[in-house]
């Protein structure tokens, strides 16, 4: 079953290669969507694809790259149709 989520990740998630590593992980999992920095210092991720792949990415977002210190990952269902995964 396919679906989409939109997540907001907070903590030390900017300036630690969070967007690039999230894109790599999402592509590895076959997901479409995007990742971008937000003005408040958080990161937004939209991911669409197989539910099991979305769940794997959601778990990975709590860890992020080695320099990150994630304090919260809040996700909600999202609608969209994304091919590829881009960094904004």
Q: The tokens 């300036």 sit on which residue?
A: 15
Q: How many other β-carbons are positioned within 10 Å of the β-carbon of residue 20?
A: 12
- Contact call for residues 5 and 61 (beta carbons, < 8 A): no
Mind telling me the catalytic residues? Answer: 19, 37
């Amino acid at each position: 079953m396919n679906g989409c989520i939109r997540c907001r990740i907070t903590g030390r998630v900017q300036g630690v290669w969070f967007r690039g590593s999230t894109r790599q992980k999402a592509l590895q999992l076959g997901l479409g969507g995007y990742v971008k920095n937000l003005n408040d210092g958080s990161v937004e991720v939209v991911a669409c694809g197989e539910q099991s792949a979305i769940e794997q990415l959601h778990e990975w977002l709590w860890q992020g790259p080695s320099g990150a210190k994630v304090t919260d990952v809040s996700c909600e269902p999202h609608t969209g149709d994304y091919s590829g995964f881009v960094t904004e």
